[in-house]
Amino acid sequence: MADKATQITGLLTPTVDALGLELVGVEYLPAPGSAVLRLYIDVTEAAAADGRMVTIEDCESVSREVSALLDVEDPISSNYTLEVSSPGVDRPLFTAAQFARFAGEEAKVTLKLPQEGRRRLQGRIVAVEDETVRFDVEGLGGQRQAIDVAVGNIEKARLVPDWVALGYAPSKESKGRGGKAAKAPKKQANPKPAAEGPTEAE
């Protein structure tokens, strides 16, 4: 995670927590003219167990409260657009605890520095120890191999949706019985109420 994103995560987490939600992570994408500050929020694990999901109203509440705090603290001196979104089915992963929570699932990862000759990898999250994640990936010749990656060397990481488990694709068993293959749905945009940040650079 970039230093600016880390700083902003620490600044905004108490505000999001106070709303009864979880700040999953922050993406800060600087660009000439106007940067993008993207927040991913979720309900707490207890609320999720009760079937609660992030709503547009949740995104709007976080956007409103966070905008006020950012105006006061002013961690970004340039123009920026604030986006608040639910994680979606291809959930981004930011911390060791989040990787541990989804152990056993498939993730797609981009590294800051290459390992084993690759900057991108896709594999199952096997285990997490301290700040190191072990992935089971496909190596040369199609053989499986384990790669240990420090969370600090991960630039981006997202879960790979299991469309069969989600009910959007047939299992291998149903295909074998002559079932038609179901198309995975197009990725739908998460609710992202956008609020403009400061309009003048200091």
State the pairing for strand pair 154-159/106-115: antiparallel
**Tell me, what's the pLDDT at 173?**
59
**Tell me, what's the pLDDT at 93?**
97
- Quick one: angle between helices 56-73 and 3-18, nearest 10? 120
pTM of the model: 0.77
* CA-based end-to-end distance of the chain: 25
Rounded Cα gap, residues 41 and 37, in angstroms: 13
Q: What is the pLDDT of residues 56-96, one digit of tens each?
A: 999 999 999 999 999 999 999 889 999 999 999 999 999 99
Domains identified in the chain and CATH numbers = 3-89 (3.30.300.70), 96-160 (2.30.30.180)
Rounded Cα gap, residues 160 and 169, in angstroms: 14
